[in-house]
Amino acid sequence: MNILWVEDNPNNKKEFWFGERIVSIVTDFTKAEETIKNSLNKYDLAVLDIDLSNSDKEKVEERSQKNGLTPDEFLQKGGMTLFLTLLESGFPREQIIFVTGNSDINNLSKFVDKIESSEDQQEIKNATKNVLLCLSEEQIAQLKQKNDKQARIKYLRSLVEDNTTYGIFKKSCKDICIEAPKAISKSNDNDARRVLNEWLEGHEKNDYLVLRRGIIEGCNFLKKLIQDDENNIRFSDFVKRTKNSPVISIYPDDLLNYLDIIENFLPVRQPTVLNDIYRLFLRTLTHEWDNSINPQDTTENYGGDIHTFAWLSKMTRNWLSHAKLLEELNSELIAFIFTVNMRAMFKLPAEQLDYERFLLKCISKSPIPINNSNLNKRIEDFESKVDGILFNLPEPFTDENNPKINLKYFGEKINYIYRNNTGKQKEHDYHSFLFQYFWVNQKKTIINLTGDSDGFLPTLARHIYIRTFQ
């Protein structure tokens, strides 16, 4: 995940605050505002300081005067302006946080926070004692009249006065009934780092954000690949031919435009209903694999893996065009199809790429070594299961030259099952069919999948192993 950190005095503490995460530091208010307006798609999270007084004051002088402020006064609240700019640009509030010395709150508020959030009874008891030390006799008497914990906490909150820049802003938000941004006080760096890390980890567990970032980085990588050398395009080799001429022409600009669309498809704000956006995305991703594209003869030229990836893309495209049996769609399937689709369309190195590491985390965050002692047997088991499903289907509705009894390949069989169930209630796990198709097609070269190398194929196999055989 990519983090935008706006801090006018970072003091070489990036590693302290963020560890090994990918962070871009911007130390000037004006540059930060330009970044937000022009390059926001590069970032998933924003961490802001409030007081940006060390920024270039000359660049904000005219703007400050228009608002009746000196440049220093304007920049002391610069982080708030950037927060509102982020919101205006469509960046989600929950993906923004302040880490600042301008959110320090008084001791009473800290003790109330402990009482409200802690599950440790001793910690609650100690915080309660400290709260009583902060109150007058009259306030203690008022507190005792409250009947339950929530009423007591509400009363204590009413006693807290926070006159910091953040406190004033938070009160203004409350007055107009909007949620204030989250803030972490740097009064204790170690405590603040712990809270920030928890906040970051919460977003890193969000598969939608991880998927979106992997797709964006993937499209950027592939665009550069094409611009560096047009021969890195493989997709044109799949075009059907008549009289030794391709039925359509595929130009580099066509694929650059395609990648631009894919890159910008998923919004930074996670939709409430993911299935709808995933359906449209997957249709757009696989749309190119129409009737003018035939990957049938790819094995001899490129190997069984590319043949498999190409057919996975084309089959997904056909299934989405005829029914909704692949739904509910999820980040796991989207990551899988995106990854293999790009491996089919472009000539990529054998090793795993950085953007693929992002995407494979959506399938399995902790891939396990493959137990190949009975792997072929397990593959044969789900081949037999598909044969059983096929056997119990009614007689073929397809043309007489292709009866189901003559279906030879696993891909033909699962495609037939899908088409036969179009318009009917969903009975089978079609996601699993696609994952299983990968293993069946690679069965003759299974040794390529079971090694412990960091190559793409064995890494992909380790990530989808549990999902396939569960």
pLDDT for res 400: 54
**Residue labelled with tokens 């650059």:** 256
What spatial distance separates the first Cα and last Cα of the chain, rounded to whole Å?
Answer: 29
H-type alpha helices, 296-395: 298-302, 304-322, 331-345, 354-360, 375-391
The answer to whether 411 and 437 are in contact (CB under 8 A) is yes
The answer to whether 347 and 298 are in contact (CB under 8 A) is no
Q: What does the alpha-carbon distance between residue 275 and residue 17 come to, in Å, rounded to a whole number?
A: 35
Q: Chain-centre distance of CA 163, in angstroms? A: 37
The values of phi and psi at residue 266, to 5°, are -85, 120
Residue 444 φ/ψ region, left for φ over 0, alpha for ψ in the -120 to 50 degree band, beta for the rest: alpha
Residue 58 has pLDDT above 80, yes or no: yes
Collapsing DSSP to helix, strand or coil, 361 comes out as coil
Q: What does the alpha-carbon distance between residue 83 and residue 178 come to, in Å, rounded to a whole number?
A: 14
Q: What does the alpha-carbon distance between residue 220 and residue 413 come to, in Å, rounded to a whole number?
A: 36
* Torsion from C-alpha of 358, 272, 194, 117, nearest 10 degrees: -150
Helices 29-39, 78-88: axis angle to 10 degrees equals: 10
- pLDDT per position as a tens digit, 400-445: 555 555 678 888 899 888 888 887 778 888 899 999 999 998 888 7
pLDDT mean over 259-273:
95
Choice among 66-75, 348-357, 410-419 with the minimum mean pLDDT: 410-419
Tokens representing 173 are 């938000």
pLDDT mean over 302-306:
81
Q: What does the alpha-carbon distance between residue 456 and residue 305 come to, in Å, rounded to a whole number?
A: 11
pLDDT for res 156: 81
For 21, how many CA atoms within 13 A lie in the half-sphere containing its CB? 25
Tell me the torsion sign for CA atoms 26, 32, 46, 41: negative
Residues 6 or more apart whose CB falls under 8 angstroms from that of 171 comprise 162
Q: What does the alpha-carbon distance between residue 4 and residue 86 come to, in Å, rounded to a whole number?
A: 11
| Long-range contacts at 35-41 (CB < 8 A, ≥ 24 apart) | 35/4, 36/4, 36/82, 36/85, 36/86, 36/89, 36/91, 37/85, 37/89, 40/86, 40/89, 40/91, 40/268, 41/216, 41/263, 41/264, 41/268
Collapsing DSSP to helix, strand or coil, 373 comes out as coil
Q: What does the alpha-carbon distance between residue 139 and residue 153 come to, in Å, rounded to a whole number?
A: 13
pLDDT for res 327: 86
pTM of the model: 0.83
pLDDT for res 299: 58
pLDDT for res 310: 93
Strands 241-242 and 245-246: antiparallel
Tokens representing 30 are 């004006």
What the chain holds in terms of domains, given with CATH numbers, is 2-104+163-204 (3.40.50.2300), 107-159 (no CATH), 229-469 (no CATH)
Residue 399 has pLDDT above 60, yes or no: no
pLDDT mean over 3-24:
91
